Structure formats: C-alpha cells, structure tokens
C-alpha cells in the first residue's frame, strides 16, 4: 500500500469496508463523505439502492453556521439524526467511507449518537 496515492488508498480501504458493511431496510447504512471544505452524510438502504435521508454542511439549515469544521460536522450529525428520526429510522450501520474514525468523521458520528441514532 505504500505506493498508492491517498485517494487510491482510501478507495481500497472503502472497498474492504463495503464487503462487511451492508445497509438493510431495518438498519440502513449511514455513509459519510468528507471533502476538504465540506462534509456529507446519507442514510442508504442497500437492498433497494435508495438514499432515504441526506444532509451536508452545505444544506440550507446549516449554511450560516460558524465554527470550526469539527463543530460543523457535529451539527451535521445532529441534523441527520433529526431527519432520520422524523422518517422513523432509529438504528443505522456507520460507514466511515474509508476515512479514519477521527476528527470530523468522529464528530459527525458523535453528533448522530447525541441526536438519538443507535449504531
């Protein structure tokens, strides 16, 4: 793995994770994507290949928020939990998308747990 660039390494890790992680109707997958500026979260049912809920740091409810990227990520986690609860989704499987469970990804997960999602 030493010869791979960052994105190729992340794709390889992501592929290995997706072999084990699969969202169902009863327990969908909470997928996270982190870019340099923004963070995105989706709740996906893999049996029907449908996105049930999605939000990001660019959504209208969060666009005016100030703070560090980690603080905004936590708010995105709270927002995804709130929207998922409205749709009747209580428990999910967390998919970190090949990113380290650290920093913004961890903050989003903590925010989602704080909002009431179980994973």
**Does residue 119 lie within any of the structural domains?**
no
> Is residue 1, in this structure, part of any structural domain at all?
no
In a domain, 51, yes or no: yes
Query: Smallest Cα–Cα separation from 79: which of 51, 63, 55, 107?
Result: 55
Q: How many domains does the chain have?
A: 1
Q: pLDDT tens digits for 79-99?
A: 999 999 999 999 999 999 999
15 falls within a domain: yes
Task: Say if residue 107's pLDDT is above 90.
Answer: yes
Closest CA to 85 of 108, 113, 109: 113
Report pLDDT digits (tens) over 1-45.
Answer: 567 798 999 999 999 998 888 888 899 999 999 999 999 999 999
Q: Is residue 30 part of a domain?
A: yes
Predicted confidence band of residue 46 (pLDDT cuts 50, 70, 90): very high
Domain coverage including residue 13: 6-114
Per-residue pLDDT at 23: 86
The pLDDT assigned to 45 comes to 95
The domain spanning residue 101 has which CATH number? 3.30.420.100
pTM for the full model? 0.91
Give me the pLDDT at residue 1, please. 54
Residue 95 lies in a domain: yes
């Amino acid at each position: 793995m030493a010869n791979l660039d960052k994105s190729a390494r992340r794709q390889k890790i992501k592929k290995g994770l997706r072999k084990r992680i699969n969202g169902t109707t009863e327990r969908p997958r909470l997928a996270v994507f982190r870019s340099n500026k923004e963070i995105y979260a989706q709740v996906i049912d893999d049996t029907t290949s449908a996105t049930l809920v999605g939000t990001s740091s660019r959504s209208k409810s969060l666009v005016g928020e100030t703070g560090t990227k980690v603080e905004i990520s936590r708010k995105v986690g709270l927002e995804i939990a709130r929207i998922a609860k409205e749709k009747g989704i209580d428990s999910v499987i967390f998919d970190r998308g090949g990113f380290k469970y650290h920093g913004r990804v961890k903050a989003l997960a903590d925010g989602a747990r704080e909002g009431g999602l179980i994973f």
